[in-house]
Amino acid sequence: MSVRNGSTRVLALSTFAFTLMFAVWLMFGVLGIPIQKEFEISDSQLAWLSSVAILNGSIWRLFLGVLTDRIGGKRVTIVMLLITSIPSYLLAHMTLNYHWLLVLAFLVGFAGNLFSVGIAWNSHRFPRERQGFALGVFGAGNVGASATKFIGPVVIASTIGGSYAGGIIPGGWRFVPALYAILLVLTAIAILIFTPADNENIQKTRSIKEMFLPLKHIQVWRFSLYYVVVFGAYVALASWMPKYYVSVYKLNLHDAALLTALFIFPASLLRPLGGYFSDKIGARKLMYGTFTTMLVALLLLAAPFGYIVLETPDGPKNVLPYSLGVGQFTALLFIVGCSMGIGKAAVFKHIPEYFPNDVGAVGGLVGTLGALGGFLLPPLFVLVREKTGLPQSTFIVLFLLTLSATVWMHVVIMRLLSKESPHLDHQIDTKTHLTIGA
């Protein structure tokens, strides 16, 4: 299979659309802080504001992946962009209470579902030996999480105050979702005009039941756990770290957002590199490297090496154990981000190789469960911190999650190697798994 005519335009525009939708999906990571001040909501309520957006960006991935296999990625992408623009614009003019804010956050979160659509759309347009790189380039749209981190604080500080909701383009934090709404519509128009018709690889004759059959394979669920580690945790940290830097290190919002971006950039931009190496050396070896590096960095982030003193109205008190200075913390978080960026590509390299006719369904399920991890982790961070009193409990949770995925992967691979002949070591990343139940 060769690269088909117009595939480069599909990859470029779908990647831009995914970048924009990802920025919309995770914009509460920065906007949540001024929203918290204006609406006077608690940390727990703020965590749920981000989480409901992440939830709605997870639950439709499987359905939309299957729909893409049936009617084509171009149609689904255009409709999704237009649908998401509506609640994004309404959010910019929201002046009611927290409950309505929660509803709009949920609706805006629909943006997160574009990933499974783009994976299926692009995988059909590139040959197997280039799929890892192509899907890595598309997945680099995760960098959209940095967009709000950069423009959000500047816009909030330079436009009319955050309480101003009038006019077509409101000011303060509301300017950001209004701007995104306009860009979403313009991107949908660009895809309609500049990408080729998506009539090939459409599977109208296959029943829905048949398209869901691959989900019975245990390896699909194992890949999903991997994706919770490298993507769900990434989403959770991308939305949670600005608040973490502000509350733990007492940084201002601008500096907290920039330091969070140092985690987001490698976790996104290294995805094409991960795809390239997946093509060259195999996804299994890359997953071993990813998990090992993450475990070391997370262990250091989770370990208490010193103490911090919390300032209260009654003076300094509440001495709590903590681990690292802000520079050391950011450096380790950067390493975690690099590992996640490479690991995300390695996970999705498996799917078109193992299930070439079911990329939408399998990719949708893996993406759904991975993103659900991003929904569940922020409230879990809050809960564990409240129970333990440890700021670094966030990374204790992530270390245990990564360890469990690593153990499962290693046990399965060792079982395969002991069951089959030694030459299987070079074939684990092929379709052999379908016959041996990896």
Q: What are phi and psi of 45, to 5 degrees?
A: -65, -35
CA–CA dist 81, 186 (Å, integer): 9
pLDDT for 323 equals 60
Q: Is 317 helix (H, G, I), strand (E, B) or coil?
A: strand
State the Cα angle at 430 between 289 and 346, rounded to 5°.
Answer: 30
Say if residues 110 and 84 touch (Cβ distance below 8 Å): yes
Amino acid type, 12: A
pLDDT for 152 equals 65
C-alpha of 179 from chain center: 22
pLDDT for 215 equals 73
The tokens for 71 are: 């009617």
pLDDT for 80 equals 97
pLDDT for 74 equals 94
List the domains of the chain with CATH numbers: 7-436 (1.20.1250.20)
Say if residues 21 and 144 touch (Cβ distance below 8 Å): yes
Say if residues 220 and 362 touch (Cβ distance below 8 Å): yes
Q: Which residues pair with 321 in a beta bridge?
A: 307
Angle between helices 43-56 and 98-108 (to 10 degrees): 30
- For the chain, 438 residues long, give each residue's pLDDT as a single digit of tens: 445 578 889 999 999 999 999 899 888 877 887 888 888 888 778 878 887 888 898 889 888 988 888 888 999 999 999 999 999 999 988 877 888 999 999 999 999 899 889 988 988 788 777 777 888 888 777 677 667 666 766 666 666 555 566 667 777 788 889 999 999 999 999 999 999 987 666 666 566 677 667 677 888 888 899 999 998 998 889 878 888 888 888 888 788 888 988 898 888 788 888 888 888 888 788 999 999 999 999 999 988 765 555 566 666 555 555 567 889 999 999 999 999 999 998 898 877 777 777 777 788 888 888 888 887 888 888 888 888 878 788 999 999 999 999 999 999 888 877 775 555 444 444 443 433 334
Transcribe 146-176 into DSSP letters. HHHHHHHHHHHHHSS-TT---SSS--GGGHH
Q: In which residue are the tokens 């580690």 written?
A: 229
